[in-house]
Amino acid sequence: MDYFPLFCQLKGRACLLVGAGEVAERKARLLLDAGAALTVVALEFTPQFQQWAAEGQLQQVAGEFSADLLDDKWLVIAATDNESLNQQVSQAAEQRRIFCNLVDAPQNASFIMPSIIDRSPLMIAVSSGGNAPVLARLMRERLEAMLPLHLGKLAELAGSLRQRVKQHYSNASTRRRWWEKLFNHQRLAQSLANNDAQQSTDFIEQLFAQPIEDQGEVVLVGAGPGDASLLTLKALQQIQLADVVVYDRLVSDEVLNMVRRDAERIFVGKRAGDHCVPQSQINQILLEQAQRGKRVVRLKGGDPFIFGRGGEELEVLAAAGIGFSVVPGITAASGCAAYSGIPLTHRDYAQSVRFVTGHAKQDGELDWSCLAQDKQTLVFYMGLSQAAEIQRQLSDHGLALTTPVALVENGTSVRQRVVTGELAQLGQLATQVKSPSLIIIGGVVGLRKKLNWFASYPQAD
C-alpha cells in the first residue's frame, strides 16, 4: 500500500491554497464543499475566486507565498504552474508537519487528491497513487454511473436507525441480515428517490414487523433485446443483487454473464427438445422462492410488460402478499429497429406504431382493418410462424402488397441478420430467418438503406 486512505474532517478548519488559476478552482471547490476555512494566496485571481471572496466563502491574500501563511493550517495545496514555487510550499509544509498536496507532482506530495464519488454521507475515493490520474477518473465515472443518487439518503436513514436495530436484534448476524434487507429493498430505495417520507417509514416498519427469513421479494427485470450493453443501470444492479434468477430463452448469454456468480439460475424457457415451462409453473417457482426469503429476479427478454406476461406473474405475487417491483427494459421493437436503421415513427411515413403479438389466434381476434391502415408502423412479436397469415390478412384488408417489410433475426446481437422486402414476399421471407425474429411492416422500413448506421453488424438483405 503506497498511500494510507484517509477521510479528513475539515469543517471549520483552516486550510491554505497557493494559486488561483483554473486548476486551483477545482481544488478550492472540493475544500469549500468539505466546509474548510479556506485562505487563497496568489498574485492574480480568476473571476470565480473573486466571486467566492465577495460571498465570504474564502479569504484572499494578494501577493507572494510566505511560510508564515502556514501557521495554524491543517493542510495546504500548491496549485500553481510554477514548479519551483510548489516545491517551496512543500518544503515549508514538511518542516511544520502539515500535509501538502502538489498538483502534477504527486511523488513529492505528502497526500494526494483522489477522484471522488459523492453520495454524502457515503463517499467513495478512487486513486492510482498519482500514476494514472486519467484511469482513476475513468473508474470514477463508471462507478458514478452505477451508483444510484439516493444512496446518500439511504446512508442517512441507516445512521438514524442504528440504535433501534441494535435494540431490536440482539444477535449480530441477525442485525447484518436485517441491514442487507434494508439496503437491497428496491421499493424503499424508490420511495427515498421520490422523497416520499411516509412510504419510506411504512417500509421500515414492515421490515421491523416481519421475520427476517420471510421477507423475500421478486423484481421483474427487462433484459433488453440481446445486447448486454443495452441493460439499464438499474437492471444491472438488480441482477447483481439477486439470490435467484429465473430467466427465459430470450435472455442472451451476454446478459446472463453479468448475473451475480453465486446466484441460483432457473431456466424456464424453451429449448430444442424441451417443452416450455407452463406459465402456472413459472408463477409457482417465483412464489416459492420468494416465500423462502429469497431475493428473486425474474429476467425477461425485452421489456417485461410488453408481451412478457409480467402482469400475470405480478397478479399471482400480489394475491400471495409477496413484495415486488419492476425494472423496465428496452423492448425488442425499439432495439431491433434502431440497430437496423429503421425509425419506428417518421413524420412522412408513420404517425403511430403498433406492437402486435403473432401468437394471436387466426379466428378474427386481431382487428385487421385497423392494422391495415396506412401511415403507421406494425411490429409483430413472435410472428414468424404466422407470417403467411399476417401477409394474407393485411392484404385482404387493404394494405398495399408493395409495403416494405423487414425481418430482424437475433436483433441487437453480433448475430443480427436483417432480411427486407415487400408485404407480398413476407411469407416467403419468413423461411429465410430463424427464431427469435421480429417483423416490422411499414413505410419506415424503406429508410433502412439510408439510415443503417449499424452496418458493422453482420446483416443480410
Catalytic-residue membership of 270: yes
What is the distance between the alpha carbons of residues 303 and 222, in angstroms, rounded to a whole number?
Answer: 4
Nearest in space to 265 (alpha carbons), one of 289, 292, 293: 289
Question: Which residues have CB under 8 Å from 132's CB, separation 6+?
Answer: none
Instruction: Tell me the Cα Rg of the chain.
Output: 30
Binding site as annotated, residues for S-adenosyl-L-methionine: 225, 301-303, 306, 331-332, 382, 411
Binding site as annotated, residues: 22-23, 43-44, 225, 301-303, 306, 331-332, 382, 411
How many residues appear in the chain? 461
Write down the catalytic residue from 73, 181, 243, 248. 248
- CB-neighbour burial class of residue 275 (10 A; exposed 0-12, middle 13-18, buried 19+): exposed
What is the distance between the alpha carbons of residues 18 and 65, in angstroms, rounded to a whole number?
Answer: 7
Binding site as annotated, residues for NAD(+): 22-23, 43-44
Catalytic-residue membership of 248: yes
Q: To which residue does cell 425494472 refer?
A: 327
What is the distance between the alpha carbons of residues 84 and 89, in angstroms, rounded to a whole number?
Answer: 9
Half-sphere exposure of 288 toward its Cβ, with a 13 Å CA cutoff?
8
What is the distance between the alpha carbons of residues 297 and 248, in angstroms, rounded to a whole number?
Answer: 12
Write down the catalytic residue from 270, 294, 348, 361. 270
User: In this structure, how many other beta carbons lie within 10 angstroms of the beta carbon of residue 53?
Assistant: 16
Angle at 110 between CA 104 and CA 111, to 5 degrees: 70
Question: Which residues have CB under 8 Å from 68's CB, separation 6+?
Answer: none
User: Which residues are designated catalytic?
Assistant: 248, 270
